[in-house]
Amino acid sequence: MKARSGSDLGFQIGTGAFAALVLAIVVAIGIVLFRESILSIREFGFRFWVTDIWDPVAHEFGARPFIWGTLYSSVLALLIATPISLGIATYLSELCPAALRQPLIFLTELLAAIPSIVYGLWGLFVLVPLVRDLENAMPQWLRDTPLFSGPPIGLGMLSAALILAIMVTPFISSLAREVLKSVPRTQREGAYALGATEWEAIRVALSYGRTGIIGAIMLGFGRALGETMAVTMVIGNSPTVSWSLFAPQYTMSAVIANEFSEAVDDLHLHALIEIGLVLFVITLAVNAVSRMLIWNMNRQALAKPKAKLEPATLGGSA
Amino acid sequence: MKKLMAILVAVALTAACGGGEGGGPVRPPDAATAGNNQINGAGATFPLPIYSKWFSDYNKLHPNVEINYQSIGSGGGIRQLVERTVFFGASDQPMSDEMLAKAPGPILHFPTVLGAVVPVYNIEGSSTQIKFTGPVLADIFLGKITRWNDPALAKVNPGVALPSGTITVVHRSDGSGTTFVWADYLSKVSTEWKDKVGASSSLNWPVGVGGKGNEGVAGLVKQTPGSIGYVELVYALQSKITYGAVQNQAGEFISPEVKSVTAAAAGAVRTMPADFRVSITNSPGQGAYPISSFTWILLYESPDDKANGLVMSDFMKWALGDGQAMAAELGYAPLPDELVRMELEQLNRIKVQ
């Protein structure tokens, strides 16, 4: 018995060390990013986050257009991808005929396996011309609004958001489907027993699994934030801050990928690494916020577990 | 020790043979398998196709010499050379005085081949080659000329039906020697460009959208009516994209081709500085295509590994001699003979003992 507990202890320490390794890697990445960008941090300080000029010739570097482009494109991508993904997940787990289910699951997962450079090429040669046609077809009064201003080039925020949406959809839908699958049968049976329609029973299941679904969306957000190759090929790579969906813009990961290999000047290199640091901080913040959101929801759910199963919430049709 | 001496002798003999048959019979048998001469280099992506061919052909002539080249970009190549993690560097732009001062020893520049950057465009229904002047190109890329039928363009293209549509400017989004050469030329022909934008591998572009790589720029130009961009000559020739002629300093409109690029280097030979760190854009020569440039191999004057120094110096002699004949078929322009002679002299400065 003693030996057993000894090996248990060893197992605990061993796995604990692996877990600690993850933490150590995250900290090490942070330290290296900070150290390697020190010239830029000293030179620009907080201004780096809020200025718009990125001029390697004049040694003037500001990250705001890149921060804006990354967040804007990722949020837009989620706005497009979330309803589609939840639709796919719901259909596959609740409504789909059994014969169709496996092929559809296979196809959505295939989408996730396509390399991003392939998405980029497809985006450049197929999506961009389509977006340009759309821009050209748009009536002038709409083109005058800030959301659709700018020349109809095809490259720009809309193309980037669309390609990102296509790329994150398989992630969100697969995870959301897993979440729905893990909702106990009794939840749905209970809803049906109370006289709920199919739609209402699905709402109960979605509501039951909402923390998992939010987790899935946040994972998609994280992936959209860091996506580089496909985005840089269609976003136009112009560091501007604009609400316009047609305007060429830029993202943080794209500028690093684009300029890193040919950056000779020290300050330029450090500024690029500081962009990496900013991306790192923002990704950490997004993850922390989503954790807190989920944690908060779980606590509320525990505090009043009955609330969501009350017949009243199922609507008047009961 | 004895073995090392044998290898050194073998290397010296191989080097002495120059472009010969590899000195098979005189070489001790163990030298071929010793793997002594493994030389690592890193740098520009632009000359990768010809360097790969050179290194592999040289390896066939000298099986005991293996030259590895990583095309990580000029910036990375210079950095690794200065840190002495590679034996030689390669760059599309000469090293700055600042970078040279950082290096642990003097570094020599050797132009290897020439390349050129060409304006490519997409004008629907136009079959005649459009002519550009330097100032017109600068004004288009500054966003001052916004329509194809601008008087400045019409003036140099008499009889060509230019459309009235807007010009979409496409530039490289990735840091690139191609961008450096393009901007370096525009800086020479437009003071406004020089003051506002300048020349570097990445720029703060006044207008336009960025495409990734030559293929990105060419792809965008091909599918966007009314667009103009710039790509390497090699790429323009291969991808069958429409490209323009550019006016040189002598006032001639020159279509970019291998011959006119070599002429640009020949025009610059008279004023060539001793260290070969020179931009040959806007070259004064007759028949010279004005947006031409060298690409360089960078070597320490006093290499830390003398044996490799000897081999590399022999390789350079071969590349500047027999190697030049391979340039044109790969889309690069060979160096003018006079420059080759100057470089061979410079090679003697490398201390191999």
For residue A55, list chain B residues with Cβ-Cβ distance below 8 A.
203-204
Decide if pLDDT at B260 tops 50.
yes
List, in order, residues 6 or more apart from B165 with CB less than 8 Å away.
Answer: B147, B148, B225, B226
Asked whether residue B4 carries a pLDDT value surpassing 70, the answer given is: no
A189, A195, A198, A204 alpha-carbon torsion, rounded to 10°: -60
pLDDT at A315 over 80: no
Calculate what percentage of chain A has a pLDDT beyond 70.
93
Average pLDDT score over residue span B105-130: 91
Cβ pairs bridging A and B (under 8 Å): 102
B19-40 per-position pLDDT tens digit: 333 333 434 333 444 457 899 9
Structure tokens at B209: 């959208």
As a residue count, chain B comes to 353
Confidence of residue B67 (pLDDT cuts 50, 70, 90): very high
The first and second tokens of residue A27, run together, are: 């900290």
The answer to whether the CB of A105 falls within 8 A of the CB of A251 is no
Q: What is the DSSP letter of B334?
A: P
Per-residue pLDDT, averaged over A246-250, amounts to 93
What is the per-residue pLDDT for A142?
Answer: 87
The C-alpha atoms of residue B238 and residue B329 are separated, in whole angstroms, by 11
Mean pLDDT of A55-72: 94
Yes or no: say if A286 and A221 are a contact pair by the CB < 8 Å rule: yes
Residue B125: DSSP 8-state: T
For residues A124, A128, A130, A134, the Cα torsion angle rounded to the nearest 10 degrees is 180
User: Would you say residue A185 has pLDDT above 90?
Assistant: no
Query: To the nearest whole angstrom, how far is the Cα of B338 from the nearest Cα of chain A?
Result: 31
Contacts of B74 in chain A (CB under 8 A): 262, 264
What is the Cα–Cα distance from A222 to A235, expressed in whole angstroms?
18
pLDDT average, residue stretch B145-157: 93
Q: Is A308 in contact with A207 (CB distance < 8 Å)? A: yes
**CA distance linking residue A70 with residue A252, whole number of Å:** 6
Give which of B91, B173, B221, B239 to mutate to test A binding, by max A Cβ within 10 Å.
B173
Rounded Cα distance, B178 and B281, in Å: 12
The pLDDT mean for chain B works out to: 87
* Model confidence at B318: pLDDT above 50: yes
∠ CA B236-B242-B244 to the nearest 5 degrees? 90
Q: E-assigned strands of chain A? A: 54-55, 60-61
Whole-number Å distance between alpha carbons of B119 and B141: 11
Handedness of CA A5, A11, A14, A15 (dihedral sign): negative
- Mean pLDDT, residues A177-195: 88
Query: What's the half-sphere exposure (Cβ side, CA atoms, 13 Å) at A61?
Result: 28
- Four-residue CA torsion sign, B328, B330, B336, B342: negative
Poorest-pLDDT segment among A25-29, A250-254, B202-206, B266-270: B266-270
Average pLDDT of span B284-301: 93
Please report how many Cα atoms fall inside a 13 Å half-sphere around the Cα of residue A224, on the Cβ side. Answer: 36
Is B120 strand, coil or helix? strand
The pLDDT, as a whole number, for residue A4 is: 58
Q: Mind telling me how many Å the CA of B97 is from chain A's nearest CA?
A: 12
Q: Where are the alpha helices (DSSP H) in chain B?
A: 2-17, 29-34, 48-61, 74-82, 97-102, 134-142, 151-156, 177-189, 191-196, 213-223, 233-239, 258-269, 306-320, 337-347
- Residue A207 CA to residue A188 CA, distance in Å, equals 11
- pLDDT confidence of residue A260: 87
Number of Cβ within 10 Å of residue A86's Cβ equals: 19
Q: Are B134 and B190 in contact (CB under 8 A)?
A: yes
CB contact under 8 A, B203 and A257: no
Q: Please give the single-letter amino acid code of residue B314.
A: D
Chain B nearest-CA distance from A144, in A, is 18
pLDDT at residue A44, rounded to an integer? 94
Q: Of A62-66, A167-171, B11-15, which gets the smallest average pLDDT? A: B11-15
> Do B18 and B314 meet the contact criterion of CB atoms below 8 Å apart?
yes
DSSP state for residue B322 in the 8-state scheme: G
Model pTM? Answer: 0.82
**Chain A contact for B79 (CB, 8 A cutoff):** yes
Residue, of B58 and A189, whose pLDDT is higher: B58
DSSP A29: H
Closest CA to A272 of A57, A56, A68, A69: A56
Residues of chain B with Cβ-Cβ distance to A56 below 8 Å are 175, 200-204
Residues of chain B neighbouring A155 (CB-CB closer than 8 A): 209, 220
Average confidence (pLDDT) over B194-201: 92
Handedness of CA B197, B199, B204, B205 (dihedral sign): positive
pLDDT at residue B329 in the model: 87
Measured in whole angstroms, how far is the alpha carbon of residue A291 from the centre of its chain? 14
Q: Which of residues 219-258 of A touch B (CB under 8 A)?
A: 232-233, 236-239, 248, 254, 257-258
What does the DSSP 8-state code read for residue B166?
B
Cβ pair B91, B43 in contact under 8 A = yes
Q: Quick check: B175 contacting A, CB < 8 Å?
A: yes
Instruction: Say whether B173 and A232 touch across the interface (CB within 8 A).
Output: yes
Weakest-pLDDT range from A133-142, A308-317, B134-143, B165-174:
A308-317
Residue B50 near residue B295 (C-beta atoms within 8 A) = no
* Least confident span in A88-102, B33-47, B233-247: B33-47
Two structure tokens written together for A222:
């994280």
> Mean pLDDT lowest for which of A161-175, B17-31, B236-250?
B17-31
Q: Cα(B288)–Cα(B256) distance, rounded to whole angstroms? A: 9
Which region among A57-66, A294-303, B78-87 has the lowest average model confidence (pLDDT)? A294-303
Phi, psi angle pair for B265, to nearest 5°: -70, -40
Selected for mutation to probe chain A from B99, B201, B202 (highest A CB count within 10 Å) is: B202
| B194 contact A CB<8A | no
Q: Give the CA distances from residue B45 to residues B10, B111, B184, in Å, rounded to whole numbers and listed in that order.
A: 33, 15, 19
3-state helix, strand, coil in chain A (%, to 5): 75, 0, 20
Query: Hey, are the CB atoms on A263 and B75 less than 8 Å from each other?
Result: yes
Residues forming beta bridges with residue A261, ordered by sequence position:
none
* DSSP state string for B53-119: HHHHHHHHH-TTEEEEEE---HHHHHHHHHTTSSSEEEESSPPPHHHHHHSSS-EEEEEEEEEEEEE
What band does A150 get if pLDDT is binned at 50, 70 and 90? confident
